[in-house]
Amino acid sequence: MKAHVALALLLAAPQILPAQVTTPPARQESLKQEIRLAYDRGLAFLKSKQNAASGQWGDAEPVAFTALAITSFLLAPERKPTDPLPAEVEKAIAFLMKNVQPDGGIYVKARANYNTSLALTALMLAPSPEREPTLLAARRFVIGQQNDFDEKGKLDNPNDGGVGYGTPKPNNPAHADLSNTHFALEALYYAQALLADKGDAGKNEPQLNYSAAIQFIKNCQNLPETNKASWVSTDPQDKGGFIYSPGETRGGEIKTPDGRTALRSYGSISYAGLLSFIYAGVGKDDPHVKAVLQWLSENYTLEENPGLGAQGRYYYFHTMAKALAITDVDYLKTKDGKVIDWRADLAGKLLSLQQGDGSWANTEGRWMESDTTLTTAYILMALARIHATF
C-alpha cells in the first residue's frame, strides 16, 4: 500500500463549478503563498513542543495529539509522498508504536476508539511493510468498537451502529456519539487502501456495518421528515443540522409548541455529520446530505462555532475544511443570498488568527482547546486541505 493513495484521499481535489465567480488566480496564488509561510511557522511551533525524549506531543491525550501532529507534518503543502519522513515524525511514530495494545488498539488507558482512529489515520500517511500488520489490527479494533444490538433484540436502540470513545460509561455502556463515529469512519475510509492489493485475503478482513452506521448518523440529524425521535426540533433554524448523540446536544434546548423539549443543531457537529455521511458512502444527492448542506450554508460564519460561540471553534474550522473539501463543495450560499468562496474566506480568517510564535490559540478552553498543540494541529490540517484544493 503506497503513501500517495492515502494522501490523495485526504486531499481530494474538488470539482470546480464554472458558473460561479471564483477567487481571482492572482489572489489564489497569493493566499497559497501565505498559507505555505504560515504553515512553516506552525510546524516550527509544533517542533518546539515535541517531547524530545519520548517523541510525543501532549500529556492529556498523548496518542491523539501525537497523531494529529504527525498528520499536520505529513500534509504540509510542499511535501511529496515520496519525501523521507521528518525526524520529528519518525520519533512520533515510534511513540505510537510503543502504545499498540494487545487488542490491536493504539491508546494509553482510555478513549480507545478516539485515540486509535486518529493514530490509524496518521499512520496511513506513512505506511511501511513492517507496520502493515499493526495497521490492519488497528482497523479491526476500530470496526469492533461499533455498537451492534441486532443479536440482543434491541433494534430500536438509537445508538445502534454508532461508535463511542471506546471506554463504555458505567451508566451508559451503549454510548455512541457523532464525533467519535466520524473519527472512526474517517480512519476506516483511508484504511481501505490496506486491502487494495490483498486479493482474497483482503476480502476476508472484517467490514463495518455501514448501513447501521448510516442509520445512526440519521438518528443524530434534526430532520423531522425522517427522524421521529421526541427530541427532534421542528424549528426551521435547526432543520438539517446535527446534534452530538441521539437525545444529547451541546447546542441548547427549546420548548416546542406541543410542550416537548427539542434539541438545537450546532456547527461543528453538523460538519462531522456531513463528513460521516460521505465517509460512509452516502452521495451528495441524498436528501439527508442536501439538508445538512443547506443548514451549513444558512448558518455559515467564521466568527464562532454556530450555537456554541467560541467553544470548539478550532475543531469547527478543522472539520469545516475537511467536510467541504471532501464533499466537493466550492461555494456556500448564505441565508441572505451571498455566495461565499469558503476556501478564500476561511484561509484569510485562519491566517489572521496566527500568533506571533506560529501557533493558534482559542480563548475558550473547552474540549482541550486551551492546548495550543491541539489547536495548531487543527488549523494546519485545515490549511492543508484549503491549499490542496484551491
Residue 16 has pLDDT above 90, yes or no: no
Mean pLDDT of 158-187: 85
Residue 350 has pLDDT above 80, yes or no: yes
Pick the closest to residue 12 from 344, 380, 329, 281 (CA basis): 329
Query: Residue 24's pLDDT band (boundaries 50, 70, 90)?
Result: confident
Residue 29 has pLDDT above 80, yes or no: yes
Cell numbers 460512509 correspond to 280
Contact (CB, 8 A) for 138 and 84: no
Output the CA torsion 367→316→215→202 (10° steps): -90
Mean pLDDT of 155-170: 79
**Count of domains observed in the chain:** 1
Of 72-76, 198-202, 366-370, 382-386, the least confident? 198-202
Contact (CB, 8 A) for 342 and 325: no
Amino acid 9: pLDDT? 54
Query: Residue 115's pLDDT band (boundaries 50, 70, 90)?
Result: very high
- Residue % of the chain over a pLDDT of 90: 79
**Using one digit for the tens of pLDDT, what is the confidence trace for 92-105?**
999 999 999 999 99
**Using one digit for the tens of pLDDT, what is the confidence trace for 240-266?**
999 999 999 998 899 888 889 999 999
82, burial (CB in 10 Å: exposed 0-12, middle 13-18, buried 19+): exposed
223: CATH: 1.50.10.20
**Alpha-carbon distance 262 to 255, whole Å?**
6
Q: Determine the distance from the C-alpha atom of residue 148 to the mean position of all C-alpha atoms in its chain, rounded to a whole number.
A: 23
Residue 295, φ and ψ in degrees, nearest 5 = -60, -45
Query: Residue 151's pLDDT band (boundaries 50, 70, 90)?
Result: low
The boundaries of the domain holding residue 206 are 3-389
Amino acid 231: pLDDT? 96
Global confidence as pTM: 0.92
68, burial (CB in 10 Å: exposed 0-12, middle 13-18, buried 19+): buried
Other Cβ atoms less than 10 A from the Cβ of 150: the count is 13
Contact (CB, 8 A) for 229 and 219: yes
Local structure of residue 274 (DSSP, 8 states): H
Other Cβ atoms less than 10 A from the Cβ of 18: the count is 6
Residue 15 has pLDDT above 50, yes or no: no
SS3 333: strand
Query: Mean pLDDT in the chain?
Result: 90
Amino acid 345: pLDDT? 96
Amino acid 18: pLDDT? 36
**Alpha-carbon distance 17 to 261, whole Å?**
41
Amino acid 17: pLDDT? 37
Residues 6+ apart with CB under 8 A from 323: 271, 272, 274, 275, 278
Cα atoms in the Cβ-side hemisphere of radius 13 Å centred on 296: 30
Contact (CB, 8 A) for 385 and 11: yes
Mean pLDDT of 263-275: 97
Amino acid 109: pLDDT? 87
